[in-house]
Amino acid sequence: MTQPAQSTSNPLLQLWRNQESRGVIIQIITMAVVFALLAAIARNVVINLEAVGKEFSFGFLLWPAAYDIGFSPFLEYTNQSTHLRAAVVGLLNTLLIAFWGCILATMVGFVLGIMRLSSNWLVSKLSYAFVEFMRNVPILIHILAIYAMVVTLLPPAKKALNVGADAFFLSNRGFYVPSPVFEDGATIVGVVLLISIVLVYFFKRWARRQQDDTGKIYPVLWVSLGILVALPGIAFVATGMPLSWDIPVLKGFNFKGGMAIKPEFLALWLALSLYTACFIAEIVRAGILAVSHGQTEAAFALGLRPNRTLQLIIIPQALRVIVPPLCSQYLNLTKNSSLAIAIGYMDITATLGGISLMQTGKEMETMLIVMGVYLVISLLISSFMNWFNHRIKLTER
């Protein structure tokens, strides 16, 4: 390797042989290549846009969108609204499906993961079969198949299934549920509810300090539940029950009143949650298996009952293993929600990246915004999860 004889004369070669200067050279070359590539792309974009007579600007966001969005639970939207408003409606729909998807996926995932570890052979195998089937089939097929099932198997609105109490109806137009109508005084109940939550928080802290100081254990769960139910309950009765339900009623070909959970939302929600739940199930299983059996035995030896062992020993340690991959599953779910476009659920990809793109011909601008939105959501979720992960981390010496 060391043959300095003929090379010492060449200063360039000498620079290359020196580790430090070689690093600098490689970095300069890298940056030069990257910037040359970016510059070439920028130049091509400018020339190509000019050739087709397009201009790079975000002004189109204020143009009227001129298309309908069937599902906008938070914002008023008509086809006279701007593209910007359509984009915001889409973003809110993305966040809505991601939020509810993560919740259902976590719940189903934990149940499946624990079922998989059950000592009952049949339960364990059922969970195994379900998990393996779901996660080895592409999510897009799940979405399309569940949507097809919802639309074709469920009856039309006129013959809607009465799921319960003449107030919940399932039809191929969606799942109709009563919506709450708040009257005067409902705010008082809300305030009382908030106060009771604060009370519970302080009671929990007090009980914990008492336990640390004296070893005495208070029934935190029951007292908390009591406070949470009793105080708002009393306020609710005292203000004269300021809440009524708007119950959906069949009028003509569709239901009036109540809230409708659209079939697109239902199908996407179920497909995303069940698919992600199967990955979460494997994570939960691995997490619980990662807690060595010695921990359980030690807890029993200390005289803890099985319930407390699970609560105080196993779950905290398993969570430490579970949370990081769980975070990436939440991210995956959010990113997979962009497949909504396949069944016409209007999320950000379908509104801004789909119809707005086609109508305005602003490929660059719309795709930049859509990608930026997903990047920000990803960053937010992962930083929240990092914070949470940091909180439950093992405090080592």
Partner 1 sequence: MSETPTNPRYAPGTHPDLPPPRRTTGALGWVRSNLLSSPLNVALTLLSVWLLWTILPPSIHWLFTGAIWTAVDRKECWALMDAPRDGACWAFIRGSFELFVYGWYPEPERWRVNLTFILFIAAIVGGLRENIPGKKYWLIFAAAYPFIAAWLLLGGFGLEPVGTNKLGGILLTLVVAVTGISFSLPLGIALALGRRSNLPALRGVCVIFIEFIRGVPLITLLFVASTMLTYFLPPGSTFDLLMRVLIMVTLFASAYIAEVVRGGLQGLSSGQYEAADALGLSYWKAHRLVILPQALKISIPGIVNTFIGSFKDSTLVLIIGMMDILGLGRARLNDPEWLGLAPELYIFISLFFFISCFAMSRYSLNLEKKLQTGHKS
Q: Give the interface with partner 1 as residue ranges (CB under 8 A).
A: 1, 23, 26-28, 30-31, 34, 40-41, 44-45, 47-49, 51, 118-123, 126, 132-133, 136-141, 144-145, 148-149, 152, 335-336, 338-339, 341-342, 349, 353, 357, 363-364, 367, 370-371, 374-375, 378-379
Q: Are 343 and 268 in contact (CB under 8 A)?
A: yes
CB of 28 to partner 1, least distance (A): 8
C-alpha 127 chain-centroid distance? 23
Q: Which of 287, 319, 280 is nearest to 127 (CA)?
A: 280
DSSP string, 239-274: TT--EEEE--EEETTEEESSEEE-HHHHHHHHHHHH
Nearer residue to partner 1 within complex by CB, 113 or 232:
113
CB of 387 to partner 1, least distance (A): 18
Nearer residue to partner 1 within complex by CB, 126 or 319:
126
Torsion-angle region of residue 119: left (phi > 0), alpha (psi -120 to 50) or beta? alpha
Nearer residue to partner 1 within complex by CB, 235 or 348:
348
d(C-alpha 97, C-alpha 77), whole Å: 19
Q: Are 295 and 313 in contact (CB under 8 A)?
A: yes
CA neighbours closer than 13 Å in the CB half-sphere of residue 209: 5
CB of 395 to partner 1, least distance (A): 23
Nearer residue to partner 1 within complex by CB, 39 or 225:
39
d(C-alpha 317, C-alpha 319), whole Å: 5
The alpha carbons of the chain give a radius of gyration, in whole angstroms, of 29
Instruction: List the alpha helices (DSSP H) in the chain.
Output: 4-7, 11-17, 19-51, 83-116, 121-135, 139-153, 186-214, 220-238, 263-290, 293-301, 306-308, 315-336, 348-350, 357-360, 363-391
CB of 351 to partner 1, least distance (A): 13
Query: Which tokens sit at 67?
Result: 């298309």
CB of 246 to partner 1, least distance (A): 35
d(C-alpha 107, C-alpha 56), whole Å: 45
Strand 243-246 to 179-182 pairing: antiparallel
CB of 48 to partner 1, least distance (A): 5
Nearer residue to partner 1 within complex by CB, 260 or 280:
280
Residues 335-357, buried b or exposed e (16+ Cβ, 10 A)? ebbbbbbebebbbbbbbbbbbbb
CB of 359 to partner 1, least distance (A): 13
CB of 31 to partner 1, least distance (A): 5
Nearer residue to partner 1 within complex by CB, 1 or 198:
1
Residue recorded with tokens 């940056």 = 31
CB of 66 to partner 1, least distance (A): 20
CB of 45 to partner 1, least distance (A): 5
d(C-alpha 340, C-alpha 338), whole Å: 5
The SS3 call for residue 180 is: strand
